[in-house]
Structure 1
Amino acid sequence: MIARLAGVLVETTADSAVIDVNGVGYLVLASTKTLDAIGPIGGSVILLTELQVREDSMTLFAFGSAGERESFRHLTSVQGVGGRLALAILSILGPDDLARAVSTGDKAMISRASGVGPKLAQRIAMELQGKLGMPGLASAAGTPVPRGGTAHDALSALANLGFKPAEASAAVAAAQEELGPDATLDALVRLALRKAAK
């Protein structure tokens, strides 16, 4: 399983990039959001990846963030949504926008992506309900965890450890409230883990 690539950007197209890793060029498919943020040709890049193996092909998908990869995994769990269609959705909606559209049942927003009709948009909204977490990451106590910064990184760390989005955001919000806005990432993650384990 290839989980991450770190190398030099060799070329990009509308939906793909080639990353040179120690002389081996990896072709990755990515959302337009990731490709827009990837940087110039010849620059160093680090991308998270997901390898899909089919009977007749192996495709490597790349992501600029753990949140985007997580959204991709959820989307491809929905019947009728393959890797390329999931990228088309993520090209229109970032992870927060997708979570918001799913949580509010906004089928019109989901169907803005090329290739997503009203029926598929409804299926995505229904099947992913409660799986993507809430954008803005409000805790059970109603304290929003700020987007970006250490709180966001701590939330990502807990999500990577297998905590559900709601659990993770509640624990990080409680930890941040206790430690204050200047808490280090390390301290925030440690306290959030203790709170999540209770």
Structure 2
Amino acid sequence: MPAIGNISQKELVTVSFTLFAVIDILGSIPVLISLKDKMGGHIRSTQATMASGALMIIFLFVGQQLLNILGLDIQSFAVAGSIVIFIIGLEMVLGMEFFKPDNNPKSGSVVPIAFPLIAGSGTLTTIMSLKANYHDINIFIGILINCVVIFVVLKSLKWIEKALGPNGLIVVRKFFGVILLAIAVKIFSSNLAQFGK
């Protein structure tokens, strides 16, 4: 268990901002809106937040052990997540449909929203990397802070969609679709190169 005495404001700020940048929930808004439409116009914000938060906390404490038990390495995990992200990016840019519409928001709120969009391979790998330099209690609190931000954004999607308008949404969706493709290619290529080593 993380020790309360190790709580550090400096570490907490650093960890929280690092996770916020990696999760990039604000940059994921166009993707989330696109997925929301496929899921009957509704995302289960609480379920998606709790699922992504649970994944991050599990990886904080037993990430490497869990992958070892499953016979997986972090590179395989990252490549699998990048493929899903790449497909979502293609949908956004080309207007094609790979993921079939799911009117049941229960399943979509976990995959692909909680994983790999929010608690993706990059986020989980970052959490494991942070353990080398920061105390677990500060990473744990940083995860909780980011979960609050995630929940607020997911709850505000309808308002954000209205503020952008149909045309603004199309432009932003295509722009972030290209960014998502680039991120997926970067994750895929950097981790694929590790397989031969």
- TM score, norm. by length of structure 2: 0.27
Quick one: higher RCO (CA 8 Å, sep 6+), 1 or 2? 2
Question: When you count helix as a share of all residues, which structure comes out higher?
Answer: 2
Larger strand fraction of residues: 1
